[in-house]
Chain A
Amino acid sequence: MNMYLLGALLFWIATWSLNVWLSHRKQTRFIKLLVPTIFGISVLVVWELLVRGLEVKAVLLPPPSMIANAFVHNIPTLWADFYQTFVKGALSGFFIGTGAAFLTAILIDRSPFLQRGLLPVGNFVAALPIVGMAPILVMWFGFGWQSKAAVVVIMVYFPMLVNTVQGLQAQDAMQRDLMHTYAASYPQKLLKLRLPAAAPFIFNGLKISTTLALIGAIVAEFFGSPTVGMGFRISTEVGRLSLDMVWAEIAVAAIAGSAFYGVVSLLERAATFWHPSQRG
């Protein structure tokens, strides 16, 4: 057995027993952060050691150090790709799509008939393979970021619509009666009771949309893109078998995706601090 493999095994055992020990202590916030961090680091180290120990070729699975190297040396390219795909494609599509869904939900709010019709249809469409629309939208809107934004708009629209419509129905009878005794007008009811009560649902929709937005923008680039963008880079670098660059791009996607999700979660915490799920 060579040294790398032995090292990997020992490191894994050491970190895992450390985690077991830590998880049986009082679970402070610090420990709750420390344990997954140790786990993540140990996965990276074991990956590195295994790749070296088993002499896996870099075209199959590059070690993390090589990926980090590719990342550091290609920051301008990665930034350009990130800007093209995330800022231009995913973000603009996210805002247009969720905004449109929100407005639709408000518009059909006064018609229970339309709501009863749109909820099942929306739920159905949300389960469909919408990404498949990508080639069509690339044909319609060209290779630029507009087609990517369009894919994202369609992908996020229905999950957001369904969540908002459900949220707007989420007050209980007592609260509605109270507004009624105050003789509140429709806009007052909407602003003071129903929208705040819908906030947890709306944020749930927004959180689902963050992941969908990034996926939509990247996959749409597989069907045609300018010579910049994360999806473009991934598919061309795979073709050239420089997997370290592909992994660097995936790291960018992972960081961007997690950060996007994190920002929305922070906004949620600020906006719905009163909700039981945020107080735990």
Chain B
Amino acid sequence: MKNLWHKYGPVITVVLGIVVFWYAMSFVLNSAWTTDKLSRTGGTVTFIERVADTWSQDKPKLPAPHQVIREIWNTTAMKSITSKRSLVYHAWITLSSTLLGFALGAVLGILLAIGIVHNKAMNLSVMPWVIASQTIPILAIAPMIIVVLNAIGVSGLLPKAIISMYLSFFPVVVGMVKGLRSPTQMQLDQMRTWNASKWKTFWALRWPSSMPYLFPSLKVGVAAALVGAIVAELPTGAVRGLGARLLAGSYYGQTIQIWSALLVAAALAAALVMLIGGIEKFTLKKMGMAR
């Protein structure tokens, strides 16, 4: 029991603190509206009634957590998943382009890293640009890529996936270059004494020893891919996906809808990161590398 508290107590405390802070903020931010309503009707309310009102408005500045949860429940469990008003439907649209983009980005990142590690010229000429490419706010190009690809007839999943790919390849490249270079000189010399080919060295030594570096970068990459997919849904008028829900919500002032889309996006990010964490644990354990 004491052990459990030591492990989860602090996290639970912080999360509870955030929820309390959220309720408090939603009281502070929404009470202006309550005051405004009162000044028009000329009534007065007790403090309790005022609190109850700030936590149950239709278009609050900051919806209280239970309002958001109720909205999520109504738009997931209570709607059929094929309905346009179902968040599951929108989340699936976003998730599918995230996953496609992430897969492409991970493969591209790994291939680039292999090239960089094995080719001196590539290391010197490409690596600085890979790093420089990240100081560029890639997301700013997202609307252009979408529009251009639409113009040449590519639409739907692929343009969004390309943006996710661009965002997720970088952490993978950097992590994998580090990982593929992680074998010590001694281990490399051992491979040489066995007269192992470059190919064999790669499969038997470099690739396995890069695994502990691969998974953390995949976690960063998948989170970035999700952000990319959401932002990519904004520019084209955004009809489907979580990004579209955000944009539509902001057009019509539907704050509860925005927050519910945001919370679902957060849950999705958490689930993806945890999934990769699980694969990581399993793989490293099988390889005997678990710490």
Contact = CB atoms under 8 A, between A and B. Distances in A.
B270 interface: yes
Contacts of A72: none
B113 interface: no
A32 to B, nearest CB: 7
Contact of B129 (A39, A61, A140): A39
Interface stretch (A113-121, A172-180, A195-203): A113-121
Interface residues of A, number: 62
Contacts, number: 165
Interface in A170-229: 210-211, 214-215, 218-219, 222-224
A206 B138 CA distance: 19
B26 to A, nearest CB: 12
B121 A35 contact: yes
Nearest to A115: B10
A36 interface: yes
A39 B132 CA distance: 13
A116 B10 contact: yes
B253 A139 contact: yes
B161 to A, nearest CB: 16
Q: Say what secondary structure dominates the interface of chain B.
A: helix
Contact of B147 (A23, A222, A238): A238
Contacts of B235: 222, 235, 238
B9, B134, B140, most chain A CB atoms within 10 A: B140
A234 B144 contact: yes
Given A117-B10, A254-B135, A136 B255 contact: yes
B124 A36 contact: yes
Given A128-B265, A253-B140, A254-B135, A39 B126 contact: yes
Contacts of A219: 139-140, 231
Q: Say what secondary structure dominates the interface of chain A.
A: helix
Contacts of A39: 125-126, 129
A215 B140 contact: yes
B140 A128 contact: no
A40 to B, nearest CB: 7
Interface of B: 9-15, 18, 29, 61, 120-121, 123-129, 132, 134-141, 143-144, 147-148, 151-152, 219-220, 223, 226-227, 230-231, 234-235, 242-243, 246-247, 249-250, 253, 255, 258-259, 261-262, 265-266, 269-270, 273
Interface of A: 16, 19-20, 22-24, 27, 31-32, 35-36, 38-40, 59-61, 113-118, 120-121, 124, 127-129, 131-133, 135-136, 138-140, 210-211, 214-215, 218-219, 222-224, 230-231, 234-235, 238, 241, 243, 246, 249-250, 253-254, 257-258, 260-261
